[in-house]
Amino acid sequence: MLFFTQCFGAVLDLIHLRFQHYKAKRVFSAAGQLVCVVNPTHSLKYAPTRCAAGQTSAEQGVLPPCLHHEAVHDPQLVPCTCPLFSCPWEGHLEVVVSHLRQTHRINILQGAEIVFLATDMHLPAPTDWIIMHSCLGHQFLLVLRKQEKYEGHPQFFATMMLIGTPTQADNFTYRLELNRNQRRLKWEATPRSVLECVDSVISDGDCLVLNTSLAQLFSDNGSLAIGIAITTSKVHNAEDEM
């Protein structure tokens, strides 16, 4: 009975996932956009991250791990950029994508415009949704997080991070768009580098921020569809012409 119950639950999950993907394709296929259905990852990370641990240690008068890393280790090495886990891995930027795909099984989509369909938005905070987006010869990390910035008031934060340096990130512009029930909301900004902590980006509010009521206006049966487009900046194009 236990074996049957587990198998039956797995089948139901698969059917639910296929149904969500079918709905998304039906809505967005007319626009020729690729759709990625992203399931939530709940409470895997908070075991403090490097950034959070560094802040706590500083308050306690202990040398923060990030500062210790910069002082002792090879400065060309970067810690794991996956915000879902407290991962001790570190390496060069060139192998970050391989680490995310092989170790953390992060999906990757290719295309100028894609749709990020986050399921189960009702789950309690903290919860993360994450994919990689390959575009214009670079890889980007899209992070959607449900987090209580103020106690009892969860919010949704969405940001795009370039797997590259801050100088490279300045060459691009990303757009996140929500469109449902004759309502449209856009956020356009320069992506941040993964060399910066995702936690810091969210704390600064330099991202798309939705309160629960606004997220519900754009959600469909607990799923939130976010259109993603990445372009090169005008400054970068002008330099190429010169």
**Per-domain boundaries in the chain:** 29-40+73-232
pLDDT of residue 77: 79
20: Cβ–Cβ under 8 A, 6 or more apart, which residues? 37, 117, 119, 223
Mean pLDDT by 10 residues, the chain (242 residues): 52 49 45 72 51 36 35 64 77 85 84 89 91 92 90 92 94 95 94 89 91 94 94 61 44
Using a cut of 0.75, tell me whether the model's pTM lies above it.
no
- Kindly report the CATH number that applies to the domain delimited by 29-40+73-232: 2.60.210.10
Q: What's the one-letter identity of residue 12?
A: L
Q: In DSSP terms, which residues pair with 153 in a beta bridge?
A: 150
126-161 as b/e: b if 16+ CB within 10 A: bbbbbbbbbbeebbbbbbbbbbeeeeeebbbbbbbb
Our measurement of the distance from residue 18's CA atom to the centroid of its chain's CA atoms, rounded to an integer in Å, reads 22
- Contact criterion met (CB below 8 Å) for 81 and 100: yes
pLDDT of residue 144: 95
